[in-house]
Amino acid sequence: MTNWVGRPRIMVDWDGTCVTNTWPEMSTEWMPGAVRALHKLSEFADVVIYTARIGRGPEGPFPEKSDAEIQTQINYIRQMLDEAGLPWIEIWNKPWKPGAMAYVDDKAVHYTGHKRAWDDLVDKLAAMAGKEELIA
């Protein structure tokens, strides 16, 4: 277990984790239990939202975004959080991956670090991709 000085940070994905995944539209429907969970997590950790909606750069399937487009997305998320009584939750908009006690994401695959961890991950990801013939 990592020792934290002060409060730990928990990074939480937005689309498909906090709100329904309607990408690229802006969902206004919270996932069941998300608001309550964010309140409870905030009791012992600094909760921070991260999302590809405000990511910069042409990497992956996401086109380059203007500053105005990014600010529109930040304003949308901020409004949702504020209306849910979560004004203290930060929205991560820096270009680097922040350190955190945990990342919560609907697409995450947990790495355990045990002897066969990478073999298990490859098998799991192959199954998720519909490539069962590649599973050892």
**Residue 66: per-residue pLDDT:** 84
**Residue 18: per-residue pLDDT:** 98
**Residue 60: per-residue pLDDT:** 53
Residues of the chain with pLDDT under 70: 1-5, 57-63
User: Which DSSP symbol is given to 122?
Assistant: H
- For the chain, list the domains and their CATH numbers: 9-105 (3.40.50.1000), 108-136 (no CATH)
**Residue 135: per-residue pLDDT:** 80
Residue 56 main-chain phi, psi, to 5 deg: -105, 155
d(CA 109, CA 29): 25
pTM of model > 0.95: no
Average pLDDT, whole number, for the chain? 90
**Residue 59: per-residue pLDDT:** 59
21: left (phi over 0), alpha (psi -120 to 50) or beta: beta
**Residue 78: per-residue pLDDT:** 98
d(CA 24, CA 28): 12
d(CA 126, CA 132): 6
**Residue 1: per-residue pLDDT:** 42
Number of C-beta neighbours around residue 34 at 10 A: 17
